[in-house]
A and B are shown apart, each in its own frame.
Chain A
Amino acid sequence: KAGVTQTPRYLIKTRGQQVTLSCSPISGHRSVSWYQQTPGQGLQFLFEYFSETQRNKGNFPGRFSGRQFSNSRSEMNVSTLELGDSALYLCASSFGEAGQPQHFGDGTRLSIL
Chain B
Amino acid sequence: AQKVTQAQTEISVVEKEDVTLDCVYETRDTTYYLFWYKQPPSGELVFLIRRNSFDEQNEISGRYSWNFQKSTSSFNFTITASQVVDSAVYFCALSEFREYGNKLVFGAGTILRVKS
Q: List residues of A whose CB falls within 8 A of some B CB.
A: 31, 33, 35, 42-45, 48, 50, 55-56, 58, 88, 90, 92, 94, 96, 98-107, 109
Complex contact A88–B105 (CB within 8 A): no
B103 within 8 A of A: yes
Complex contact B99–A88 (CB within 8 A): no
* A45 shortest CB reach to chain B, Å: 5
* A85 shortest CB reach to chain B, Å: 17
Residue from B45, B50, B52, B105 in contact with A92 in the complex, judged by beta carbons closer than 8 Å: B45
Taking chain A's interface residues, is the majority helix, strand, or loop, or is none over half, making it mixed? strand
Complex contact B101–A55 (CB within 8 A): yes
Known: A99-B33, A101-B35. A107 touches B43 (CB 8 A): yes
**Which residues in A have their C-beta under 8 angstroms from that of B104?**
33, 35, 43, 45, 92, 102
* B76 shortest CB reach to chain A, Å: 19
Bound complex: CA A107 to CA B106 (Å): 17
Pairs of residues from A and B, 6 with the lowest C-beta to C-beta distance, nearest first: A56-B101, A99-B33, A104-B45, A43-B106, A55-B101, A48-B101
Known: A33-B103, A48-B102, A98-B95. A103 touches B47 (CB 8 A): yes
Residue from A45, A55, A99, A104 in contact with B52 in the complex, judged by beta carbons closer than 8 Å: A99
* B36 shortest CB reach to chain A, Å: 10
Residue from A43, A44, A99 in contact with B97 in the complex, judged by beta carbons closer than 8 Å: A99
